[in-house]
Amino acid sequence: MISAGTRESRLLQVPEAGRDAPRNAVSPKTPRPVRKRGSGAPRRQEGFGKRLEHVADVVARLPMAGPLYGYAEATVHPDLKIYCVSERAVGGLGPLGLSIEGNSQNQSRRGLKGMPHSAKRKLKGMLTLMEDFRTRLTFGTCSLPDEDLHAMAGTDIWPKFQRRYVDLIIQHLKSYGDEALVVAVVEIGDVRCRRTGRPLPHIHFVCSGHGKRKPNGRWLFDRKDHDRIIDLAAQYAGLPRTYRGAAGNIQPIKKSVVNYLSKYLTKQVPVKEVDLSDGYEDLIPHQWWNRSSGACALLEGHLFKLPPAFQAFLVQNQMMLEGMRLGRGGLIQIGTRKTLTGDLPIEIYRFQFFTPECLHQALELYAIWCLSEREKTDSGGGGMCS
C-alpha cells in the first residue's frame, strides 16, 4: 500500500527528461496568458479639483433651469455645502428687526471678532484643492521672539510684518518660476498666551515649491531662505536687528493639507480671553489670513453656480437624498435679530453633500424632478417652470 505522503511526493517529482528544464517553463501547446498593457495596478482616483470640474460640466448641460420657487443662485464651494437663501435676502437690505444699520461710526475694529466664517470657508476651499498636489507643498511656521512681540504693542508693526512676510515668500517663489501658491494663517498661541496673558501671534503657512531646486542645486525654498525672509520682513516693519534663527521652521507635508492649518483655527485662543490693555490690541491682526493671487485663482476656477430651483429640490427631497446617503441637510442658525420680545434666531436651510459624485447624482435626480414638475404644469397641476 502506498501512503498518502508517498503518493504526493511522486506527484511532485520532476521527470528525468525534464530535470534540466526550468520549473516555470510553458508547454508549446499551452497558450500564453494575455497580458494587459500597464502595470495592472488599480486606476488612481482623480484629484478633488478634477472631480469638481466634472460636476460643473454637468450643471452647464442641464436641460432646463427648473421651476421658479424664489431662491437665489447658490455657489458651490469645495466644502460642498449648499445654502438655500431666499431671493429677497440677496442684495442690500435694511436692518433686521431693531438692529442698528452698520456704518463707519458704529463698526468695531476689524479682526477683534476673529476670522469670519466666509474667510474660513475660502481658506479650507483653497487647502482642499491644494490636496491634489500635496507632495509639492511645504508647511512652515514663523514665531517671533517674545521681546519682538512685546515691542509691537501700541504700534502698527505687526500688520506691516505680517503682510511683508507673506509677500516676500511669494516673491521668492515667483523669482524661480514657481506658481507661488501660498496660504497663511495667524494664530494666537495657547502656550504663550497662558504664560503671559497677552496675545502673542505667530504665522503658519502652506506654499508650493517643495522638491524643486535652484540653478545652483540647492532646494528652492530651504531654511536659510526662510530665515532671510523673516529678517527682511522684521527690518521692513521697523524691528531692531537681532538673531532670529529659531523663529522659522519649514517641513514637507506628510498628511492632510487641510488639517495642517485647520487645526490651528480650532486651537485659536478667543480674543475676549486675552488682556488687550496697554496697546496689545494692536497685536490682534486686522487680517487673520493671507493668500497669493495664484491660490485665489485656484479657488475661483473651481466655483460654479447652481440653478435657483435646485435649492427647492433639496428642501422637498431631503429624506430621499439622505436615504441614498448623498448628504445631510437641515436648518442652521447664522445669527440673531433683536425684537421687542427678545432675540430671535436667524436660520437658513443647508445641505452638505459627502462627495462630488454625490452632488453629480443629485443633479441627475434634479433633472428628472424638473421634468415631472413641468408635466404637472402642463396638466394644470400648478407650479411654474422656466
Cell of 142: 514663523
- Band (pLDDT 50/70/90 cuts) for residue 51 is very high
128-147 pLDDT, tens digit per residue, is 999 998 899 999 999 999 89
Bridge-based pairing state of the strands 289-291 and 74-76: unpaired
242-269 pLDDT, tens digit per residue, is 888 888 999 988 888 887 777 666 666 6
- Single out the residue in 300, 326, 361 at which a domain terminates: 300
* Assigned domain for 80 exists: yes
CB 288, CB 185: distance < 8 Å: yes
* Assigned domain for 14 exists: no
Same domain as 173, residue 264: yes
Same domain as 236, residue 367: no
* Assigned domain for 2 exists: no
CB 181, CB 295: distance < 8 Å: yes
Same domain as 199, residue 263: yes
Instruction: Tell whether the model's pLDDT for residue 386 goes beyond 80.
Output: no
107-130 pLDDT, tens digit per residue, is 667 877 888 888 989 999 999 999
- Number of residues assigned to the chain: 386
Same domain as 190, residue 72: no
302-333 pLDDT, tens digit per residue, is 999 998 899 999 999 999 999 999 999 999 98
Same domain as 210, residue 288: yes
Instruction: Tell whether the model's pLDDT for residue 231 goes beyond 90.
Output: yes
Q: Residue 132 class from Cβ within 10 Å (0-12 exposed, 13-18 middle, 19+ buried)?
A: middle
Same domain as 357, residue 312: yes
Same domain as 232, residue 364: no
Domain that holds residue 374: 48-87+308-378
Q: Structural domain tally of the chain? A: 2
* Assigned domain for 272 exists: yes
- Single out the residue in 283, 300, 317 at which a domain terminates: 300
- Single out the residue in 242, 268, 300 at which a domain terminates: 300
Amino acid 256: pLDDT: 83
